[in-house]
């Protein structure tokens, strides 16, 4: 197979100079949706299968498998006009000159367009496999920014997190503070059949050992027993025993952090759901800041709920450091 791949640099259509700017409409589409432009034969063939396997991978940390992105196939003949305003697009074009190209704000704004050219399905499928991680990252960041833009339209002015811990999160007014103690804040939003929840607390910096997952479980179970009761007397939240969490090293607001995705359950009760937990290193104040989001929504899909919680936590910003 021809390995010559014409990869063009990420093209930013919207120039910084006003005289070079051009009008593009506002992009549209549901959050976490990707428009895939290819014919029916390709969609049902190796190319479509590769896109589903490589781009719509499983969203980690959910009780049931759900794809990271919802794919919407569009035939090339109708990829025109309003159809080109999708926020995330994969465009496949049969061409004798093979190429992979990324462009920003080509037909709408914000928009990421990944276009592939090749003589056959196998060649374009190879381009997808080789660039899947890059494409996923760009789409994920595009959706995170879009979610924050939507949240900002009805942003909460509550200062409980800032007053208690000296950091801020961007979340909508639908979230209300339901518990605020010396070292614990709980913010909650009602959803269909349940709630979305954000909790925050701190632990001394020395509390993190060489086995982060062990520490996470011990920490979560201890906090859950004290602050997160279940519906029945004596019940409380713990980390689900049978589910191995996902652990990633990352950063927030330029600070070292651990990201954990897993399942919670309520001891002595029948309640469970997914959680996303961030431990952020705050060296000047000799502490770890823990911010966690968890969802309780029985019988409903959880991806978009957890995406919302993760996006809110990703907005973490700390004010000028102060001693606590």
Helix (H, G, I), strand (E, B) or coil at 229: strand
| Tens of pLDDT, residues 127-184 | 999 999 999 999 999 999 999 999 999 999 999 999 999 999 999 999 999 999 999 9
Do you find a cis peptide bond into 138, omega within 30 degrees of 0?
no
Rounded-to-integer distance, Cα 271 and Cα 232, Å: 11
Identify the CA nearest to 46 among candidates 108, 100, 120, 119.
120
| Tens of pLDDT, residues 255-279 | 999 999 999 999 989 899 999 999 9
| Tens of pLDDT, residues 15-58 | 333 444 678 899 999 999 999 999 999 999 999 999 999 999 99
**What is the reported pTM?**
0.90
Helix (H, G, I), strand (E, B) or coil at 217: helix
Other CB atoms within a 10 A radius of the CB of residue 23 amount to 5
**DSSP-assigned beta bridge partners for residue 167:** 318
Angle at Cα 310 formed by Cα 69 and Cα 90, nearest 5°?
Answer: 25
| Tens of pLDDT, residues 189-205 | 999 989 999 999 999 98
Other CB atoms within a 10 A radius of the CB of residue 7 amount to 12
Other CB atoms within a 10 A radius of the CB of residue 34 amount to 26
Whether 7 shows a pLDDT value over 80: the answer reads no
Rounded-to-integer distance, Cα 207 and Cα 191, Å: 35
Q: Are 289 and 208 in contact (CB under 8 A)?
A: no
Whether 4 shows a pLDDT value over 70: the answer reads no
CA 209 to chain centre: 27
Radius of gyration, CA atoms only, the chain: 22
Q: How much is the pLDDT for 236?
A: 95
72-81, 179-188, 215-224: the lowest-pLDDT one: 215-224
Rounded-to-integer distance, Cα 20 and Cα 179, Å: 51
Q: How much is the pLDDT for 6?
A: 42
Identify the CA nearest to 280 among candidates 205, 178, 211, 209.
205
The pLDDT mean for the chain works out to: 90
- Class of 160-318 in CATH: alpha beta
Domain with CATH 3.40.1000.10 in the chain: 160-318
Q: How much is the pLDDT for 211?
A: 75
| Tens of pLDDT, residues 77-119 | 999 999 999 999 999 999 999 999 999 999 999 999 999 999 9
Per-residue confidence at 323, pLDDT binned at 50, 70, 90? very low
Q: How much is the pLDDT for 59?
A: 95
**For residues 302 and 214, which has the higher predicted lDDT (pLDDT)?**
302
39-43, 156-160, 233-237, 242-246: the lowest-pLDDT one: 242-246
Q: How much is the pLDDT for 207?
A: 57
Q: How much is the pLDDT for 213?
A: 81
For residue 259, the number of C-alpha atoms closer than 13 Å in the C-beta half-sphere is 14
Exposure b/e, 11-22, CB count within 10 A at least 16 = b:
eebeeeeeeeee
Angle at Cα 164 formed by Cα 258 and Cα 236, nearest 5°?
Answer: 65
Q: Are 245 and 213 in contact (CB under 8 A)?
A: yes
């Amino acid at each position: 197979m021809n390995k010559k791949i014409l990869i063009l640099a990420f093209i930013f259509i919207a120039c910084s100079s006003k005289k070079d700017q051009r009008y593009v409409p506002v992009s549209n589409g549901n959050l976490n949706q990707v428009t895939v432009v290819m014919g029916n034969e390709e969609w049902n063939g190796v190319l479509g299968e590769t896109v589903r396997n490589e781009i719509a991978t499983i969203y980690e940390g959910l009780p049931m498998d759900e794809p990271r992105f919802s794919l919407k196939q569009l035939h090339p003949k109708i990829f025109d006009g309003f159809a080109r305003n999708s926020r995330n697009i994969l465009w496949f074009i049969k061409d004798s000159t093979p190429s992979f190209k990324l462009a920003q704000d080509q037909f709408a704004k914000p928009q990421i367009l990944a276009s592939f050219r090749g003589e056959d399905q196998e060649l374009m499928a190879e381009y997808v496999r080789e660039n899947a991680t890059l494409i996923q990252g760009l789409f994920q960041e595009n959706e995170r920014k879009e979610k924050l833009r939507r949240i900002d339209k009805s942003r909460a002015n509550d200062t409980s997190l800032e007053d208690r811990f000296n950091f801020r999160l961007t979340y909508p007014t639908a979230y209300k503070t339901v518990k605020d103690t010396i070292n614990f804040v709980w913010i909650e939003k009602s959803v269909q059949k349940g709630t979305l929840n954000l909790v925050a607390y701190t632990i001394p910096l020395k509390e993190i050992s060489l086995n982060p997952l062990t520490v996470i479980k011990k920490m979560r179970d201890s906090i859950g027993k004290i602050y997160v009761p279940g519906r029945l007397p004596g019940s409380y939240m713990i980390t689900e025993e049978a589910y191995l969490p996902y652990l990633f090293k990352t950063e927030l607001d330029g600070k070292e952090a651990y990201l954990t995705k897993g399942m919670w359950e309520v001891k002595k009760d029948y309640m469970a759901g997914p959680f996303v937990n961030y431990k952020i290193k705050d060296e000047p104040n000799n502490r770890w800041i823990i911010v966690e989001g968890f969802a309780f929504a029985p019988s409903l899909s959880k991806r978009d709920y957890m995406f919302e919680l993760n996006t809110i936590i990703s907005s973490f910003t700390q004010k000028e450091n102060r001693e606590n």
